[in-house]
Amino acid sequence: MAFLSLLPQQLWQELHGVTQFALFLFSLLLPFLLFKLHQLDGKGKLNLPLSPPKLPVIGNLHQLGRLPHRSLRVLSSKYGPLMLLHLGHVPTLVVSSAEMAREIMKTHEIVFSNRPKTTAANIFTYGCVNVGFAPYGDYWKHVKKVALLQLLSLKRVQSFQFVREEEVTLLVNQIQHACLSRSPVNLTDMLLAVSSNISSRCVFGKKTEVKDGKSTFGELSRRMAMQVTAFSFGDFFPSLGWMDNLTGLIASLKATSRVVDALLDQLIEEHKILNVDEGDDKKDFLHILLKLQKEGMLEIELTQDNLKAVILDMFTGGTETTATTIERTMAELVRNPRIMKKTQKEVRRVIGNKSKLDDTDIAHLRYLKCIIKETLRLHAPVPLLVPRKTSTNVKLGGFDIPSKMTVYVNAWAIQTDPKLWDQPEEFLPERFLKSSDDFKGQDFHFIPFGDGRRGCPGMTFGIASAEYVIANLLYHFNWELPGGEVMKDLDMTEAYGITIHRKFPLLLVPTLY
């Protein structure tokens, strides 16, 4: 899931502080380094992928840059689509071609179906027992099956259309008030709020607002998103995991986890008090899991921690990535007035004189679907797919890939590869009108949600929300930049966080249609 993309996303911001330890660490780790060099000499017969030159102790960490998906694409153009990096003491394979992605997600899928366990994931997901990061095995297979068949199936997603309608109606009303004053709206904040509300109602059955000045669950989720990107010594220098206690990282992670844990316990107890025997299709994810457990329909027993990990996964996976996709789509439409008008014409023609958009209307918005695909191609919310870890030695692209190797697939590099895409850096939704490319990644040159066993199970849920929100924003309003700014001048600078998002909030002036 997007929440669990564990590349050290603030590393490039904290690296200056880390390098102050370099000389100290070098002297401390010199015996270990000599031992590792001896080990490498013993592995000289392995045909490993090419690797950029590395520094003592930190390896290739300094080469990640502020936007790793871009830095790694540049490095891969020199060292190949299979590139070996040493992130601290963690050997890491970076994959930047559709052909190699196919090998990983299809041909050798089982070998690459494990996940690395990191400090933040271990704390926030109760020892990595959620769908996103549970080790590959019987437990993971079962929770993934429950998620796909019971929680995130097409039928279940469609049953929550009433939630999307109600939350989007509130959003539209909020924007309508802003139209009266012709004042800009912070669309970034609004989209994160509506995505959070939709997810929380579907997962927990209500908006998780807490009164008396306490944090909302959305705010707690954002706090986790920031902390999960913080640099951890233990993740890249396993023998120095104790340093995370000295830096305060462990204490910070556990403090947030305790607050989230208490709220999840409260929500579970509230659901247990309610009657979980009703067969209402509109029941939330937590209700469904408790009902399955009560009726003995689960193949394995879910402990309280297992249950909390799974529902937390469902919430975080459906919030920020969806909000980021909608925001990026609106930003590209504002920068491309021709495409904006063409899309609005389609939406308004389909809706006609009806008072609102029906869920059945979405199927007829073919151009809008192309726009969302193009946004996901050019601005994948998680450009470096959630990392995998090899379970055994394997041959890949003629190279020897050892077991326990961390693997990142650079989906953004693949989706902007000039060998696969014409004008890859341009926003051209029409490219999908004549294409059969879907989100399933069958050709592996369009994989915004990954593919195979470890592909994102929340794809249908996220796309349904994005399509419905964007269609309503385009139907009810015309949009322009504040102060008469030129559309093309909209700043699209990226910032790394839990997802790749715009560095600055999207401020737009709406006009009622």
Angstrom distance (rounded) from CA 272 to CA 34:
57
Q: Name 107's Cβ contacts closer than 8 Å, sequence gap at least 6.
A: none
C-alpha to C-alpha distances, 137 to 105, 141, 173, nearest whole angstrom: 17, 6, 47
pLDDT single digits (tens) 171-188: 999 999 999 888 899 999
Three-point CA angle 194, 195, 197, nearest 5°: 65
Say if residue 456 carries a ligand binding annotation: yes
Break the chain into its structural domains and give their ranges.
Answer: 2-512
C-alpha to C-alpha distances, 492 to 88, 322, 327, 330, 331, nearest whole angstrom: 31, 18, 11, 12, 8
- Determine the pLDDT at residue 353: 84
Residues of the chain with pLDDT under 70: 1-44, 209-215, 218, 275-282, 436-437, 440-442, 484-489, 491-503
**Identity of residue 426:** E
Angstrom distance (rounded) from CA 432 to CA 371:
8
Kind plus residue range of the DSSP H or E element containing 406? strand 406-409
- Taking CB atoms within 8 Å and a gap of at least 24, the contacts of 345-351 are 347/471, 347/474, 347/475, 348/475, 348/513, 351/475
Angstrom distance (rounded) from CA 41 to CA 489:
53
Burial class (CB in 10 A: 0-12, 13-18, 19+), 17: exposed
Q: In what order do the strands lie in the sheet with 388-389?
A: 82-87, 90-95, 406-409, 388-389
Angstrom distance (rounded) from CA 206 to CA 490:
36
In 3D space, the residue among 481, 479, 471, 476 whose CA is nearest the CA of residue 513 turns out to be 476
Kind plus residue range of the DSSP H or E element containing 101? helix 98-102
- Determine the pLDDT at residue 489: 61
Kind plus residue range of the DSSP H or E element containing 507? strand 507-512
Angstrom distance (rounded) from CA 512 to CA 474:
10
**Identity of residue 509:** V
Angstrom distance (rounded) from CA 420 to CA 431:
12
Angstrom distance (rounded) from CA 267 to CA 9:
31
| Residue 410 contacts residue 76 (beta carbons within 8 Å) | yes
What is the phi-psi region of residue 130: left when phi exceeds 0, alpha when psi lies from -120 to 50, beta otherwise? beta
Angstrom distance (rounded) from CA 382 to CA 380:
5
What is the phi-psi region of residue 27: left when phi exceeds 0, alpha when psi lies from -120 to 50, beta otherwise? alpha
CATH number for the region 2-512 comes to: 1.10.630.10
- DSSP state, residue 299: S
- Determine the pLDDT at residue 237: 95
What is the phi-psi region of residue 191: left when phi exceeds 0, alpha when psi lies from -120 to 50, beta otherwise? alpha
What is the phi-psi region of residue 126: left when phi exceeds 0, alpha when psi lies from -120 to 50, beta otherwise? left
Give the DSSP letter string of 333-393: HHH-HHHHHHHHHHHHHHHTT-SS--GGGGGG-HHHHHHHHHHHHHS-SSSBPPPEE-SS-
C-alpha to C-alpha distances, 259 to 24, 182, 186, 262, 313, nearest whole angstrom: 36, 40, 28, 5, 16
- Determine the pLDDT at residue 146: 93
Angstrom distance (rounded) from CA 461 to CA 131:
15
- Determine the pLDDT at residue 217: 73
Kind plus residue range of the DSSP H or E element containing 95? strand 90-95
